[in-house]
Amino acid sequence: MTHRTRQRRWQVAVIALGLGPALTTGGASLNCTAVGCVSVVSVDIASLAAKARPLSATATFCAAGACQTQKVTFIADANDATLVQTLPTHPTPAAGTNVPVTLRVTQGTSVLLDTSTTATLAQYAPNGTTCGPICYDAHLVLTGDTLAPAPSGSASP
């Protein structure tokens, strides 16, 4: 392949890429960013620190049937401890969907916490709903031995 042939193929690719947004939006151009997202449920477990400090604990966190077990360590003056569970992509979740959530925290053979609830998913679109992707999330906070929706305006993970 000659240099000229490679150059022409490159030019065709650039022109085709440049036309993509115009072709898919009926001629109106979109200014989409490349920010991605995943659907998640998160839970703030900072209030559990008083029960577990200063040792490590094991947390098993499940949302919509997807589970993970991980070590959590609480240290002095810790005020941020958040567990995040990515939701399965099939079936695709939707805003307003209630998903089952369970959280079990153990320290050695002692059970520090064993609780469950349902979380209602909210839609978010980091690039706007026109550009995609569209993801869904729910943020919970542990209060005592109960999981509850996080106050509005609280930071997501």
The radius of gyration computed from the CA coordinates of the chain, to the nearest angstrom, equals 22
Contacts of 5 (CB under 8 A, 6+ apart): none
3-state secondary structure of 18: helix
Out of 29-33, 50-54, 55-59, 150-154, which region has the weakest mean confidence (pLDDT)?
50-54
Per-residue pLDDT band at 90 (split at 50, 70, 90): confident
For 25, phi and psi rounded to 5 degrees? -120, 20
* E strand or H helix that includes residue 43: strand 40-44
Say what the pLDDT of residue 23 is.
Answer: 35
Predicted structure pTM score: 0.71
Choice among 80-84, 126-130, 148-152 with the minimum mean pLDDT:
80-84
Query: Residue 8 — very low, low, confident or very high, per pLDDT cuts 50/70/90?
Result: very low
